């Protein structure tokens, strides 16, 4: 087929990180682009996502997703434009969401791609507020944590993709108090002034337990955990009777080389009849339509604010991922290939 690019640059994992990943664990390589086979489409990726769960896929351990293979392109959410199609229902020029990110061009099985509308929202939103992180926030809070009006909510990682939405959904659904923690004073200001949290603190400025007690003097009913460790322990102490914790992520320990100790105060779960439940976004696709309708309504009306930190250029993909792990992002970290 003429007019197609000859090659595509793609990021490979070349060594399994021990502890914090280093740039040397990755390589940007060039691969030939082939015309799509039957039932497949060729997509020019416009944006791809870098997410915390990808750190887990770099380890060779059994989990809910397979580990990345060495010397193969990494995968992850991406949106792009169809440039060749051998699949019914997909035309050149269509925009699609699919799972073959970390590369410039992707040959995708059409049944694993979903058309998205660039007129309804910027395409990158389908990787964030209207995509996987958004559904995680929505389902984790409303379904897993059984949020109800009047609950006091604490969310960690509150200035990130999931956390910033959890806090705002809680506010919009009538929380009595919304408290968040984040890793810089600037992010803390954003939580209160930009996202409408009632209180927020910088977890690097002092013990989480003390700061949480000050921010939520009457305790909390829901904890949305993105961080684990000291945050989870502090939240268990702050949870009121019949409180619920949605265990969504524990980013504080993703680069640990030894198993992290458990919360030392778990015994409180008995007397306070706490419920601590894991969240996996994949369990909640049944809520997708309700989630998109409600969240896009809040975005349209301006009741919800959404931020992205955009890194330009495929060559900066790994730096964007490492930056996200270090907290360089406010809102969703996106790699854009539109230059
Ligand atoms: P994100 O919050 O946008 O980005 C990660 C953030 O984590 C960083 O910006 C950084 O912010 C914070 N962080 C890094 N190390 C930390 C530490 N030691 N202590 C406290 N905070 C730390 O990422 P996201 O995509 O929204 O994901 C948030 C969490 O949800 C992650 O744990 C992720 O694994 C989880 N998640 C789970 C599911 C699921 O289905 N279970 C789905 C999506 C995401 P600071 O500057 O504030 O430190």
Distance 91 CA to ligand 1 centre (A): 36
**Same structural domain, 161 and 74:** no
Task: Please check whether residue 121 lies inside any domain of the structure.
Answer: yes
Burial of residue 130, with CB atoms counted within 10 A of its CB: 0-12 exposed, 13-18 middle, 19 or more buried: buried
pLDDT at 3: 82
Residue 165, helix vs strand vs coil: helix
**Same structural domain, 119 and 143:** no
Q: Which residue of 138, 165, 187, 251 sits with most ligand 1 atoms within 8 Å of its CB, as the best mutation to test the pocket?
A: 251
Distance 114 CA to ligand 1 centre (A): 26
pLDDT tens string, the chain, 339 residues long: the values are 458 999 999 999 999 999 999 999 999 999 999 999 999 999 999 999 999 999 999 999 989 899 999 999 999 999 999 999 999 999 999 999 999 999 999 999 999 999 999 999 999 999 999 999 999 999 999 999 999 999 999 999 999 999 999 999 999 999 999 999 999 999 999 999 999 999 999 999 999 999 999 999 999 999 999 999 999 999 999 999 999 999 999 999 999 999 999 999 999 999 999 999 999 999 999 999 999 999 999 999 999 999 999 999 999 999 999 999 999 999 999 999 997
**Same structural domain, 108 and 147:** no
Q: Which two tokens stand for residue 328?
A: 């360089």
Task: Please check whether residue 247 lies inside any domain of the structure.
Answer: yes
Distance 213 CA to ligand 1 centre (A): 22
Residue 197, domain CATH: 3.40.50.720
**Same structural domain, 259 and 174:** yes
pLDDT at 24: 98
Task: Please check whether residue 145 lies inside any domain of the structure.
Answer: yes
**Same structural domain, 24 and 153:** no
pLDDT at 2: 58
**Same structural domain, 94 and 120:** yes
Among residues 93, 204, 220, 90, the alpha carbon closest in space to that of 167 is found at 220
Distance 221 CA to ligand 1 centre (A): 21
Distance 177 CA to ligand 1 centre (A): 22
Q: Per the structure, how many domains does the chain have? A: 2
Cα(7)–Cα(254) distance, integer angstroms? 34
The interaxial angle of helices 288-301 and 132-139, nearest 10 deg, is: 100
**Same structural domain, 30 and 48:** yes
Task: Please check whether residue 46 lies inside any domain of the structure.
Answer: yes
Task: Please check whether residue 165 lies inside any domain of the structure.
Answer: yes
**Same structural domain, 148 and 228:** yes
**Same structural domain, 206 and 241:** yes
Distances (CA, A) of 221 to 57, 145, 154, 165, 174: 33, 9, 8, 18, 13
- The ligand 1 atom at the shortest distance from the C-alpha of residue 331 is 3
Task: Please check whether residue 119 lies inside any domain of the structure.
Answer: yes
Task: Please check whether residue 291 lies inside any domain of the structure.
Answer: no
Residue 91, domain CATH: 3.90.180.10
Q: Which residue of 49, 140, 160 sits with most ligand 1 atoms within 8 Å of its CB, as the best mutation to test the pocket?
A: 160
Strands (E), the chain: 7-13, 26-32, 40-49, 78-85, 95-98, 105-109, 114-115, 152-155, 177-182, 199-202, 220-225, 239-247, 275-278, 308-312, 332-336
**Same structural domain, 200 and 314:** no
Residue whose CA lies nearest to ligand 1 atom number 2:
160
Backbone angles phi, psi at 223, to 5 degrees: -120, 125
Domain limits for position 43: 7-128+307-336
Residue whose CA lies nearest to ligand 1 atom number 33:
249
- CB-defined site of ligand 1, < 6 Å: 51-53, 133, 136, 157, 159-163, 182-184, 187, 203, 226-227, 248-249, 251-252, 279-281, 324-325, 327, 329, 332
Q: Which two tokens stand for residue 177?
A: 């108090």
Task: Please check whether residue 1 lies inside any domain of the structure.
Answer: no
**Same structural domain, 13 and 53:** yes
**Same structural domain, 112 and 153:** no
Distance 1 CA to ligand 1 centre (A): 42
pLDDT at 339: 78
């Amino acid at each position: 087929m003429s007019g197609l690019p000859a090659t595509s640059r793609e990021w490979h994992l070349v060594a399994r990180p021990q502890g914090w990943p280093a740039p040397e664990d990755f390589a940007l390589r060039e691969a030939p682009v082939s015309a799509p086979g039957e039932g497949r489409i060729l997509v020019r990726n416009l944006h791809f996502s870098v997410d915390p769960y990808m750190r887990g896929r770099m380890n060779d351990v059994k989990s809910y997703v397979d580990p990345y293979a060495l010397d193969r392109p990494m995968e992850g959410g991406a949106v792009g434009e169809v440039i060749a199609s051998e699949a019914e229902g997909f035309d050149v020029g269509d925009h699609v969401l699919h799972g073959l990110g970390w590369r410039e061009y992707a040959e995708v099985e059409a049944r694993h791609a979903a058309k998205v509308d660039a007129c309804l929202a910027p395409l990158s939103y389908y990787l964030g507020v209207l995509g996987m992180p958004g559904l995680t926030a929505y389902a984790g809070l409303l379904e897993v944590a059984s949020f109800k009006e009047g609950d006091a909510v604490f969310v960690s990682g509150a200035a990130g993709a999931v956390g910033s939405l959890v806090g705002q959904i809680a506010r919009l659904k009538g929380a009595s108090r919304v408290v968040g923690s984040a890793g810089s004073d600037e992010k803390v200001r954003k939580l209160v002034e930009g996202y409408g949290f009632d209180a927020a603190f910088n977890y690097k400025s002092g013990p989480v337990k003390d700061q949480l007690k000050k921010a939520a003097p009457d305790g909390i009913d829901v904890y949305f955990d993105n961080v684990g460790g000291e945050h989870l322990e502090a939240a268990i102490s702050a949870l009121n009777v019949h409180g619920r914790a949605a265990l969504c992520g524990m980013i504080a320990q993703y680069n640990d080389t030894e198993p992290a100790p458990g919360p030392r105060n778990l015994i409180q779960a008995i007397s306070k009849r706490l419920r601590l439940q894991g969240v996996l976004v994949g369990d909640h696709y049944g809520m997708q339509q309700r989630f998109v309708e409600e969240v896009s309504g809040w975005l349209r009306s301006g009741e919800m604010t959404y931020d992205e930190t955009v890194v330009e250029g495929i060559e900066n993909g790994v730096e964007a991922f490492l930056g996200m792990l270090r907290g360089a992002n406010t809102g969703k970290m996106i790699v854009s290939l539109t230059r």
